[in-house]
Amino acid sequence: MFSITILQLGGQGPLLSLIAGIVVIVLLLVLLDLPPFIALVVAGLVVGISAPQIAFAEVPAEFATAFGENMAGIGIPILMAAVIGKSMIESGAADRIVRGFSAVVGEDRTEISLFGSSFVIAIPVFFDNVFYLLAPLARAARTRTGGNYTLFIVAVGAAGAVTHAFVPPTPGPLLAAGAVGANLGSTIVIGVLIGLPTAVVAGLGYGYFINSRLDIPLRDAMGTTVDELEAKVDTSTSALPGLFESLLPILLAVLLVAANTGVETALGAESAAAGITGFFGDPNFSLTIAALVAAFTFYRMSDFAGETFSNELTDALQSGGNIAAITAAGGAFGAMLAAAGAGEYIAAGLENVGFGLLVTAWVIAAGVRVVQGSATVAIVTTAGIVAPFTGQLTVNAAYLVMVIGAGATFCSWYNDSGFWIVKEIGGLTQAETLKTWTVATILIGVVGLLVTLAVSTILPLA
């Protein structure tokens, strides 16, 4: 009955579903301040009820399926990330890494190390996994410096988001390059050329700006209290784990995933080698190994008995479970908007907006991204729309990949699971996440477009 009513409104069902979802999510999260998980579930159901594409009786099951699919992708990694975070912080490993960074770049330039680490690591590794690994370092750096947590979070988040969207072999730009016929080598080089200034502006530039205006305090997060963090500051370096042991969980996770990415890129996903690296490089496995290594260091550096140590890890898993549930619900909310046809509706409306191909591709990607949340869906949708027109380009096709990636990163908010990862793992409020992460992704989208237009004019490389 609901679907029939909407169909009678002139084919505007997807738009109405989008409006309904936005109104409900703002009402429940902002005005009523309900727990995010409950608000996201209710908003997702409302989108489904108002969508003509989804049968009324199937709405709850459709949402549950989307929730399950999202949980399948992030459940184990987030739970293991909680163990890694707690173990690295309470063993002193995170503080030991920060001290190592400070010894190289200076005590007052820790953000440079965090920024550079995130920019490089996110080339072969998914952004969410990068944030899982580096967030404990940002928290430890905040404890050591006594401030600048806003800067650290923005630097880590923006740098990782840029290379994740611009530089193959991460899946998004790799997929876009294939769709528009861009040379992979050229796309990697141009991705770094466009991505670095974009990340500097959105990560460090905006990070310094917002850090001077917004002081985000440390809060209990990922099973670790602020008191436990502060207790490590006065510990002598000799009483902390060695630098290599401290870095080992991060190195293992990155190397395992990067090895699989490299093999699949060079030899193909169906190759015999990929059949092996695919197992070890899967985030479910690689983060589990990293968690075991981090937990061993935690156990070695603590004086906990077996049961007490187990309870400590259980606390981390309980915190991670809440984060996983919220993140999966955010992804499911976006999936319901996609099922309602909101992304396709916006893309169709923007397909012939009259701009040049690069700007048009950006507008479509940004529009799809904002309405349904998934950067991957935005990339797939946009690449499919613009691929037939690549013959019109007077510049290298890799620049088209850049604007698609920039648009697909634009404005992460409530319907993006990445928003909830940053909020929950970083220990931020909704308002703080909007002022830091959301604004940073807006800047990535806009600056990425402008830099691409400027560089493609100077170096068309056609």
Residues 187-234 pLDDT 10s: 989 999 999 999 999 999 999 999 999 999 999 876 777 777 777 677
Residue 10 reports pLDDT greater than 60: no
Rounded percentage of the chain residues whose pLDDT exceeds 90: 38
- pTM higher than 0.85: no
Pick the residue with more confidence: 58 or 352?
Answer: 58
pLDDT at 415: 87
Lowest mean pLDDT among 161-175, 223-237, 256-270, 377-391: 223-237
pLDDT at 208: 97
Report which of 209, 204, 201, 170 is spatially closest to residue 188, judged by C-alpha positions.
170
* 155 within 8 A of 111, measured Cβ to Cβ: yes
Residue 335 reports pLDDT greater than 80: yes
Alpha helices in 237-339 (DSSP H): 243-267, 272-280, 283-301, 306-339
Confidence label for 4 from pLDDT (cuts 50, 70 and 90): very low
* 427 within 8 A of 462, measured Cβ to Cβ: no
**Packing angle, helices 127-145 and 149-166, rounded to 10:** 160
Report which of 226, 231, 224, 159 is spatially closest to residue 195, judged by C-alpha positions.
159
Confidence label for 266 from pLDDT (cuts 50, 70 and 90): confident
Residues 17-68: pLDDT tens digits?
888 888 898 899 878 888 889 988 999 999 999 888 889 999 999 999 999 9
Average pLDDT over residues 126-147: 87
DSSP string, 2-64: HHHHHHTTTS-HHHHHHHHHHHHHHIIIIIS---HHHHHHHHHHHHHHT-TTS-GGGHHHHHH
Specify the amino acid at residue 76.
I
Rounded percentage of the chain residues whose pLDDT exceeds 70: 95
* 279 within 8 A of 263, measured Cβ to Cβ: no
